[in-house]
Amino acid sequence: MKTVIKLVICLLNLTSFAQVAPLENHTWYLEKLVIGGNDFLPPTAYQNSYTTEFLNGSLYYFNSPCSAVYLEGGITHLNNQKFKMNYAYVTLSTCPSLNGVDEYDLLISHTYINISNINNNFSYAFNYQPNYIVLTVTSANGDKAIYRNQQLGISSNEKSEVDLYPNPVTSSFQLDINAGNNIKTVRIFSVDGKEVMHFKKAQGSYNVSQLSPGIYFVKIEGEYVKNNIKLLKI
């Protein structure tokens, strides 16, 4: 009987290790966030610069394209491919010269991970493809971070950048005319990931006078455009 019990314990330990090991054996490149059911892609120019690493069975590191910004957390692995984040902190530096990076960093740290209320459980799942692994890490409220264990390919048709002006805005904003020719939808989200406005086609001017003052994210999508821009409504 003792032999059987030891064998069962051994198998359980091996299973636990098998679940944790793939996390720690790779650098994970962030493909996108899914907040409130909506996709948020990293700024195109920095697509392969958002990475996450799991180390030593208890540490979580998130790296930003801004070399002065990183997030470190302590985790405890649970059963059934879950972990609990015990603490997390992020450096307070910013990189305003990197288009869209500060805004995306904020979306990760304060909306997805929610460092102000860090005592959260996360689950994770692996999807094995022929040449790479997809890792999906899901927060307690259902938001997701989706990674690959290799760098993401960037199509030449997905490199258009978009400028938004004026910003801050009081009543309406415009997008630069070159990118505007390719724009299909413009959606505006609150900082907690809820869609508050949706423009289904390109417009010369986007009226946001009905929005309350605050910070929003403008998600711009088109044939050659995928951008997230922070908007300050005053």
| CATH number of the structural domain spanning residue 217 | 2.60.40
Residues 185 and 129 in one domain: no
- Supply the CATH number for residue 104's domain: 2.40.128.270
Which pLDDT band, with edges at 50, 70 and 90, does 67 fall under?
low
**87 and 63 share a domain?**
yes
213 lies in a domain?
Answer: yes
Of 91, 122, 148, which one is at a domain's C-terminal end?
148
177 falls in which pLDDT band (50, 70, 90)? low
Query: Is 55 a member of any domain?
Result: yes
**Shared domain check, 142 and 50:** yes
Q: State the pLDDT confidence band at 21, using cuts at 50, 70 and 90.
A: low
Question: Is 2 domain-assigned?
Answer: no
Q: Identify whether residues 163 and 130 lie together within a single domain.
A: no
User: Which one of 94, 124, 148 terminates a domain?
Assistant: 148
pLDDT over threshold 70, residue 149: yes
Task: Examine residue 128 and state whether it is found in any structural domain, yes or no.
Answer: yes
Give the domain-ending residue among 107, 132, 148: 148
92/200 same-domain check: no
pLDDT at 102: 83
Which of 9-23, 151-165, 170-184 is predicted least confidently? 9-23
pLDDT at 191 over 70: yes
Is the domain of 38 the same as that of 141? yes
What is the count of structural domains for the chain? 2
pLDDT, residue 93, reads 66
Say if residue 117 is in the same domain as residue 30: yes
Domain membership flag for residue 203? yes
Domain assignment present for residue 7? The answer is: no
pTM, 2 dp = 0.63
Same domain, 139 and 86: yes
25 or 179: which leads in pLDDT: 25
Q: Please check whether residues 187 and 90 belong to one and the same domain.
A: no
Q: Do 140 and 170 lie in a common domain? A: no
- Tell me: do 176 and 143 sit in the same domain: no
Task: Please state the three-class secondary structure of the chain as a single string.
Answer: CHHHHHHHHHHHHHHHHHHHHHHHCCCEEEEEEEECCEEECCCHHHCCCCEEEEECCCEEEEECCCCCCEEEEEEEEECCCEEEEEEEEECCCCCCCCCCHHHHHHHHHHHHCCHHHCCEEEEEEEEECCCCEEEEEECCCCCEEEEECCCCCCCHHHCECCCEECCCECCEEEECHHHHCCEEEEEEEECCCCEEEEECCCCCCEECCCCCCEEEEEEEEECCEEEEEEEEEC
**Confidence band, pLDDT 50/70/90 cuts, at residue 234:** confident
**Does residue 5 lie within any of the structural domains?**
no
Asked if residue 32 and residue 131 are part of one domain, the reply reads yes
Q: Which domain covers residue 138, as residue numbers?
A: 23-148
- Averaged confidence pLDDT in the chain: 78
Q: Mean pLDDT across the stretch 11-40? A: 71
Residue 198 confidence (pLDDT) above 90: yes
